Chain A
Amino acid sequence: MNAVDGTDRAGAHNDAEPPSLLTIILDTNPHAWSLLADSLPLSQAIANLLVFINAHLAINHANKVAVVASHSERAEWLYPTPTQPGQEAADLNGTFEPEGNGTSGGVNGNLGGPVKPLDDANKYRPFAQLEHALLSNLRKLMDTTTVDAISSVPSTMMAGALTRALAYISKQTAAHPGATANSHFNYSDPSSIAGGNDLSANNGSGSATLGLTTRILIVSVSGDLADKYIEIMNSIFACQRLGISIDVLKLAGDTVFLQQAADTTGGIYMSLDANSRAGFLQYLMFAYLPDQTARNHLIVPGEQEGVDFRAACFCHKRVIDIGYVCSICLSIFCEPLADGNCLLCGSHLTMTNFGQRPAVIPKKKKKKKKTLEGSVGSPSSGHATPIPG
């Protein structure tokens, strides 16, 4: 179009840096954080995370942040604050925009209105609002966590947090004024239908510069997500289709699936040990602050490592590297099925050649035995003949 009439319409549009929505999923599993209390307590991690969030907001005035807590028995929003049933729906709108005035703490019956206790002249207003909302929501989350809940569920709701984050991202992307048909998922657009392929993934990164760019950062502390394997994989593929990269910063534990998530969606995966954990903020600022376009020009950490592609079996939720796959429904099992019926689709399965020894070895042995017997027999006869001879 520009070439045809000699005008440069896109020029003005591209000057402004595209706003970026950073969605942080914070694993707040109390079990795991209590184990980390020596090297990196939760309070310090939150303080570091707030510095990181402020840095992200400071890069571009239109940048946005959303924080989801993946707690032990539920996933909750930390920022923006969800409206409680008793509250007005209207004061929620303001919380999306950092520069909006309508941010409400959303707790202690603080209905609507700007956040009063935090009008500190020395602090950039969006920072203060976000900090207050995040901290009070987190405190509320911790306060409402019962002892029973912690003792019954030792894991974290990562799949739920991811799904909620994705629903929010999809809505924000669609609602963004700069959103074009390319930049958000359009159900009737052929290229976006198959966004997961390599070809269209390239298209996605090009067109994403027009609208809101989105990414997800997972700060994970707990291991073992195997019981939510399918749900997590579903969310990962959704991210891949939408062109959202998942960055993972692993503070403790080992989850195979988050590494696969980062690899599949083109994000960064880093795992910190006890020594490097103290440098949490430094890792955040140096590895995770640059957005997708900037990363093209940087040496990205984590590329020098392999990726663990193991899967979880459907029967015992074990993480395995050799499994048995039903040829009808592709379910994975960790051991051969007892009655030979697939647990999911019920079809009768035969083990084709499992447990069958490779046929070559016994045959060879037999042959050798035969030849040995033969050779045993022949020398005797051989012995017999020369002696008389």
Chain B
Amino acid sequence: MADSDPEYDEHGSDDDVDMNINGTGKGRSMASRSKPQAKWEGGVSRDWELEGALDGNLEGVLGGIEEAQKRKRLLKDTTPLQRGIIRHTLLVLDLSTAMNEKDLRPTRHFLTINYAIMFIREYFEQNPISQLGILGMRDGLAIRVSDLSGNPTEHINAVKELRGTEPKGNPSLQNALDMSRAALHHTPSHGTREVVIILGALLTSDPGDIHETIKACVKDRVRVRIIGLAAQMHICAEICRKTNSGDENYYNVAVDEVDYKQQFLEITTPPVLRSTDSEAQKRNQAALLMMGFPSRIVEETATLCACHGTLTRGGYLCSRCKAKVCNLPATCPTCDLTLILSTHLARSYHHLFPLRNWIEVPWSRASQKASTTCHGCLTPFPAIPASAPEQDVPRPKRAPGASESSRYECENCQNHFCIDCDVFCHEVVHNCPGCQSTAHLPGREQCAGAGS
């Protein structure tokens, strides 16, 4: 692992004492996650020895596995948690020589840039009124790639320009943390302050005591997450543990490209607020903000906008004082009202009202409801077997998570859906087609009937 960083020796010997090398490589297989092992260490997967394939009917078994995999993503906890939706995040990319490694194809550097672009888009999709900024670690310095702002295009362009640059030198976690702390210093107290570090190197070359910086981060409520690309480092684990009030899940090492992407995109989900945080929030006043939802107008002739004083045809009229601003979100320059597009806010509501998971439907239930087609997309279901299935020959076992009848039932409206609609409704629409399309939910009527 040492040869992953050829400049390590030169710098370490040349530079003087206050350069703290905190990295300790432990080898990839010691990733902090409970991942079993890397690909080459895993046992041979014997796909051909599937259970239940005795009768030669592979379809049931394979179909079940596919559906189970599709559902695995969905079966997450749907209890509504309080989330910090107004987020302020700094993404710190490693631009040191370690990023030239080719263990993640094409190189760590290019892959990180691609995933960072993806991350930026998804981040703003999930957190529409949040702010993002990007820093880089190169040559022992923290460099500013893009400032904290809410405009995804700006960030994507800045990250794309990194493609033309070469990774160079050593990273410095301390400098990066200090710079992000400074950048997050002015952010309001009702938002979160997060730093996400992508670290390819196995060292950090710092100008001072990084533990002081960690303490300062904890004091400033900055929460740090680190994704390692090579191996676990003690100092990273310590940073993440201390800044996340003892939680150790915020430092992970990516095993391969897929795992890396998954971990990267996981960060786009708003973080759960901890009770200590909410105490801090109470101290810092969780506020009810007055906001205006202005409407867009188009004018015959150009008029001056209140924000820049330029001539524009159309814009948004402040809902309180009717001053014209040209872009949203903005603060009205005249009456200081926060103006925002209501669509920005509405994008995050599915986090607040998550769709309940649908349950698997056994054959007995399917024949009871006599469902023949998916309620959402009208796709026909596999036919219900005529005989009572209980005392029948044991059916081939389906993979856990997949329904034996290929039907999934919403417990509210008791309609049956196919696996595609299950995935689609939970991942994309966040609505249940059955519950939304009837005013009389069977569950409620039963309750009403029992009550009356």
Binding site for B on A (CB under 8 A): 72-77, 80, 82-83, 85, 87, 89-90, 92-93, 149, 152-153, 157, 159-161, 163-164, 166-168, 170-172, 174, 185, 187, 190-191, 193-194, 196-200, 228-231, 233-238, 241-242, 260, 263-264, 303-311, 320-333, 336-337, 340, 342, 344-345, 347-352, 354
A194 touches B121 (CB 8 A): yes
A187 to chain B: closest residue by CB: B427
* Choice from A163, A198, A310 contacting B293 with Cβ under 8 Å: A310
Complex interface: chain B residues within 8 A of A170 (CB): 377, 420-421, 424, 428
Offer 20 A-B interface pairs, CB within 8 angstroms, sorted by A.
Answer: A89-B372, A157-B436, A160-B438, A164-B436, A167-B376, A168-B376, A190-B118, A230-B349, A263-B296, A322-B292, A324-B291, A325-B288, A326-B288, A326-B289, A327-B286, A329-B83, A330-B85, A337-B288, A349-B288, A350-B287
A88 to chain B: closest residue by CB: B372
Complex interface: chain A residues within 8 A of B84 (CB): 328
CB 8 Å contact bits of B360-396 with A (1 = contact, 0 = none): 0000000000111111111111010000000000000
* Choice from B191, B293, B373, B374 contacting A322 with Cβ under 8 Å: B293
A187/B288 contact (C-beta < 8 A), A197-B152, A310-B293 known: no
A347/B286 contact (C-beta < 8 A), A92-B380, A308-B295 known: yes
Q: Does B122 contact A (CB under 8 A)?
A: yes
A73 touches B438 (CB 8 A): yes
Given contacts A82-B373, A303-B298, 5 further A-B contacts (CB under 8 A): A73-B439, A73-B440, A199-B153, A238-B430, A321-B295
Give complex CA distance A234, B345 in Å.
11
B290 touches A324 (CB 8 A): yes
B424 to chain A: closest residue by CB: A170
A340 to chain B: closest residue by CB: B288
B439 touches A157 (CB 8 A): yes
B377 touches A310 (CB 8 A): no
Give complex CA distance A344, B295 in Å.
26
The 7 A-B residue pairs with the shortest CB-CB distance in the complex, in nearest-first order: A160-B437, A194-B121, A167-B376, A75-B437, A311-B342, A160-B436, A89-B380
Q: Does B348 contact A (CB under 8 A)?
A: yes
Binding site for A on B (CB under 8 A): 73, 82-86, 114-115, 117-118, 121-122, 124-125, 129, 152-153, 156, 190-191, 261, 265, 273, 278, 281-282, 285-298, 314, 316, 319-320, 337, 341-343, 345-350, 352-353, 370-381, 383, 417-418, 420-421, 423-425, 427-433, 435-440
Complex interface: chain A residues within 8 A of B125 (CB): 193-194, 196-197, 241
Give complex CA distance A331, B319 in Å.
19
Least distance between A311 CB and chain B CB atoms (Å): 3
A237 touches B347 (CB 8 A): yes
Least distance between B196 CB and chain A CB atoms (Å): 17
A349/B286 contact (C-beta < 8 A), A82-B378, A199-B121, A306-B297 known: yes
Give complex CA distance A324, B291 in Å.
6
B438 touches A157 (CB 8 A): yes
Complex interface: chain A residues within 8 A of B320 (CB): 322
Complex interface: chain B residues within 8 A of A329 (CB): 82-83, 85, 352
Complex interface: chain A residues within 8 A of B381 (CB): 89
A233 touches B439 (CB 8 A): no
Give complex CA distance A345, B285 in Å.
15
B291 touches A323 (CB 8 A): yes
Complex interface: chain B residues within 8 A of A242 (CB): 428
B377 touches A348 (CB 8 A): no
B345 to chain A: closest residue by CB: A330
A83/B285 contact (C-beta < 8 A), A164-B437, A167-B433, A230-B353 known: no
Complex interface: chain A residues within 8 A of B350 (CB): 230, 234
Give complex CA distance A197, B281 in Å.
32
Complex interface: chain B residues within 8 A of A198 (CB): 153
* Choice from B152, B319, B370, B421 contacting A171 with Cβ under 8 Å: B421
B425 touches A306 (CB 8 A): no
Give complex CA distance A307, B372 in Å.
43
A157 touches B437 (CB 8 A): yes
A80 touches B425 (CB 8 A): no
Least distance between A243 CB and chain B CB atoms (Å): 12
Complex interface: chain B residues within 8 A of A172 (CB): 377
* Choice from B190, B273, B297, B428 contacting A238 with Cβ under 8 Å: B428
A325 touches B345 (CB 8 A): yes
Give complex CA distance A333, B42 in Å.
54
Give complex CA distance A91, B398 in Å.
29
A90 touches B380 (CB 8 A): yes
A77/B378 contact (C-beta < 8 A), A160-B436, A324-B288 known: yes
B438 to chain A: closest residue by CB: A74
Among A92, A171, A234, max chain B CB count under 10 A is at A234
* Choice from B282, B337, B437 contacting A74 with Cβ under 8 Å: B437
A327/B437 contact (C-beta < 8 A), A92-B378, A199-B156, A238-B429 known: no
B439 touches A74 (CB 8 A): yes
B317 to chain A: closest residue by CB: A306
A193/B118 contact (C-beta < 8 A), A85-B370, A305-B298, A326-B288 known: yes
